[in-house]
Amino acid sequence: MIASHDLIVLGAGSAGLATAFRAAQHGARVALLEPGALGGTCVHRGCVPKKALWFAAQWAQAQQFALDVGFASEPGPLDWERFRQVRLRYVDGIDQSYARRLKDEGVQLIRQAGRFIAADTIELADGSRMQAAHIVVATGARPRTLALPGFGLGMVSDDVFTLQSLPRRLAIVGGGYVAVEFAGLLQALGSDVEVLAHERLLEGFDTELVRALQELMEAQGIRVNPQSAVQAAHREADGIRLDDAAAGSRGPYDAVLWAVGRVPNSEALGLASIGVETDEGGHVLTDARQDTKVKGVHAVGDVTARKALTPVAVAAGRRLADRLFGGQPGAQLDYENIPSVVFSKPPLGMVGLTEQAAREHYGDAVTVYRTRFTPMQWALTGAHGRSLMKLVCVGSDERVVGIHVLGPGTDEMLQGFAVALKVGVRKRDLDATVAIHPSSAEELVLMG
Ligand SMILES: Cc1cc2nc3c(=O)[nH]c(=O)nc-3n(C[C@H](O)[C@H](O)[C@H](O)COP(=O)(O)OP(=O)(O)OC[C@H]3O[C@@H](n4cnc5c(N)ncnc54)[C@H](O)[C@@H]3O)c2cc1C
Ligand SMILES: NC(=O)c1ccc[n+]([C@@H]2O[C@H](COP(=O)([O-])OP(=O)(O)OC[C@H]3O[C@@H](n4cnc5c(N)ncnc54)[C@H](O)[C@@H]3O)[C@@H](O)[C@H]2O)c1
């Protein structure tokens, strides 16, 4: 048995690192188990390399805009391999800085997977055991695979980051965050993208803004099929073809990206043997304080059924450590009004309720303000399309319960407005705020 700790954390992704760092700062003796790279999905297969590709897509578009307004040089294609190396260097730097910080904070990093053999005991891959009064499951999730013929001919999101070259003709199956983000950025970088979703895009986002985004995607040349049902993939002489129960054979494509959701990494942890419950999808069940039904066993991040976002994982992990080791018995994450941005092209963001959800909840007490306008950088370059913004307000004092933004700059603009919504901003407070001009953000304080 290895020396016991106050806390063992399974997984060094966003959730596990945040929990371990905060617990160590409170003086806890922490062991962090991770068989893979430090930083997990977000750093190596998610937010960070995705955002790098998204920036590259913006730069590709900026080159075109520059040409449109009078710069002389022809834009060239991205050297895909060189940019992969640039990304890898950046990501390696993050990984190394986590390793240094863990050392500095006194967290014991063990480069192995663990599984429960009792509620307070973890067995490592090498057979050794360790104990702690508190164990946090932060093992994340992985791309869903489908049991359909030819699935292996396609790739999942992890594989996009190791591609040696940009696929020319690409089908993306799915209509969630991953599908919409990769569709926009890969089309902008030069792929010819077709999206095969089996329902509307981006369930959970405001219908009106999603429709507007889909129109913008289509104007960029992305073909969006929201009613498809892919049942098989075949390799043929001219490429990969997909059998779609709704439309027959589709393709050919050079590559297929399955973007059909994610499944939690919970099945290899011995959870049932100690009485920890999971839902039908395998998510670890916790209460609002991240506690499972088993004393001392907690879960945070994508392995739970909460919104699968890095800042959510980080915030929940920190609150848990504050409660367990920081003398803050009331600490827990408020899961209301979590802002979220889809890094589509252009980005789409929301905080609070959609118009539909607000009307279901508050009926006639809802007032909606919206504005549509051509962003200045698009007007100057002759690019088509308009931004769309929407404020969803409730009651006679018009408390803002939903803010929805589609257009360039959304990704940077929404954070501050999310603070305002969280502290109960009313429409008249926005009206009383002097605008910053010229900007897109000013439209949110100028709605009539
Ligand atoms: C393509 C993509 C883009 C994304 N973009 C964004 C974005 O822009 N913004 C955003 O907020 N979110 C984004 N997300 C979501 C975000 O990446 C996740 O919500 C976040 O990484 C979850 O962190 P986690 O710590 O719960 O899990 P993970 O980061 O998956 O970490 C879990 C860790 O546990 C380890 N592990 C597994 N089993 C064991 C075991 N038995 N013992 C020990 N360790 C184990 C794994 O190796 C892994 O390192 C994106 C996701 C994807 C896939
Ligand atoms: N910008 C961001 O913050 C960001 C980016 C990427 C991912 N994420 C997080 O990661 C999570 C996972 O993203 P995701 O896109 O993998 O999942 P998702 O849950 O957002 O979308 C899954 C999509 O797959 C479709 N689908 C499911 N089964 C299917 C099938 N058999 N055939 C065809 N389509 C099918 C669903 O209809 C849905 O459109 C997101 O919910 C989000 O929380 C966040």
Say if residue 49 is preceded by a cis peptide, omega within 30 of 0.
no
- pLDDT of res. 2: 57
Q: Catalytic pick from 134, 198, 298, 437?
A: 437
Q: Give the span between the Cα atoms of 203 and 329, in whole angstroms.
A: 36
- Any ligand 1 atom below 6 A from CB of 10: yes
Span 9-31, mean pLDDT? 98
- Any ligand 1 atom below 6 A from CB of 196: no
The closest alpha carbon to 258, from 220, 231, 295, belongs to: 231
**Residue of the nearest CA to atom 11 in ligand 2?**
308
Give CATH 3.50.50.60 domain extents, the chain: 3-142+263-325, 151-260
For residue 375, is pLDDT > 80?
yes
At 177-188, the pLDDT tens digits run: 999 999 999 999
Check if 283 is active-site: no
- Any ligand 2 atom below 6 A from CB of 245: no
Fold for the domain defined by 151-260: FAD/NAD(P)-binding domain (3.50.50)
At 69-100, the pLDDT tens digits run: 999 877 778 899 999 999 999 999 999 999 99
Which atom number of ligand 1 is nearest to the Cα of residue 15? 25
- Any ligand 1 atom below 6 A from CB of 130: no
Residue 12: phi, psi to the nearest 5? -110, 50
Span 40-44, mean pLDDT? 98
Q: How far is the CA of 42 from the centre of ligand 1 (A)?
A: 5
Q: What angle do CA 292, 271, 44 make, to 5 degrees?
A: 90
Helix-helix angle 310-325:14-25, to 10 degrees? 30
Give CATH 3.30.390.30 domain extents, the chain: 346-445
**Residue of the nearest CA to atom 7 in ligand 1?**
47
Three-state DSSP state, 106: coil
Pairing of strands 255-258, 348-352: unpaired
**Residue of the nearest CA to atom 39 in ligand 2?**
175
**Residue of the nearest CA to atom 53 in ligand 1?**
46
Q: Give the span between the Cα atoms of 298 and 119, in whole angstroms.
A: 10
| Ligand with the closest atom to the CA of 144 | 2
**Which band of pLDDT confidence, cut at 50, 70 and 90, is reported for residue 244?**
very high
Q: What is the pTM of this model?
A: 0.97
**Residue of the nearest CA to atom 1 in ligand 2?**
342
For residue 210, is pLDDT > 80?
yes
| Ligand with the closest atom to the CA of 49 | 1
- Any ligand 1 atom below 6 A from CB of 16: yes
- Any ligand 1 atom below 6 A from CB of 139: yes
For residue 34, is pLDDT > 70?
yes
Ligand 1 pocket mutation, candidates 41, 142, 307, criterion most atoms within 8 A of CB: 41
**Which band of pLDDT confidence, cut at 50, 70 and 90, is reported for residue 274?**
very high
Count CA atoms within 13 Å of residue 419 on its CB side.
Answer: 4
For residue 394, is pLDDT > 90?
yes
Give the rounded percent of residues in the chain with a pLDDT score beyond 90.
95
Fold for the domain defined by 3-142+263-325: FAD/NAD(P)-binding domain (3.50.50)
Assign domain 346-445 to its CATH superfamily: FAD/NAD-linked reductase, C-terminal dimerisation domain (3.30.390.30)
Ligand 2 pocket mutation, candidates 45, 158, 196, 260, criterion most atoms within 8 A of CB: 260
Which atom number of ligand 2 is nearest to the Cα of residue 341? 1
- Any ligand 2 atom below 6 A from CB of 306: no
- Any ligand 1 atom below 6 A from CB of 157: yes
107-111 long-range Cβ contacts below 8 angstroms, 24+ apart:
107/20, 107/21, 107/24, 107/30, 107/31, 107/32, 108/5, 108/29, 108/30, 108/31, 108/32, 109/12, 109/32, 109/34, 109/38, 110/31, 110/32, 110/33, 110/34, 111/34, 111/35
- Any ligand 1 atom below 6 A from CB of 138: yes
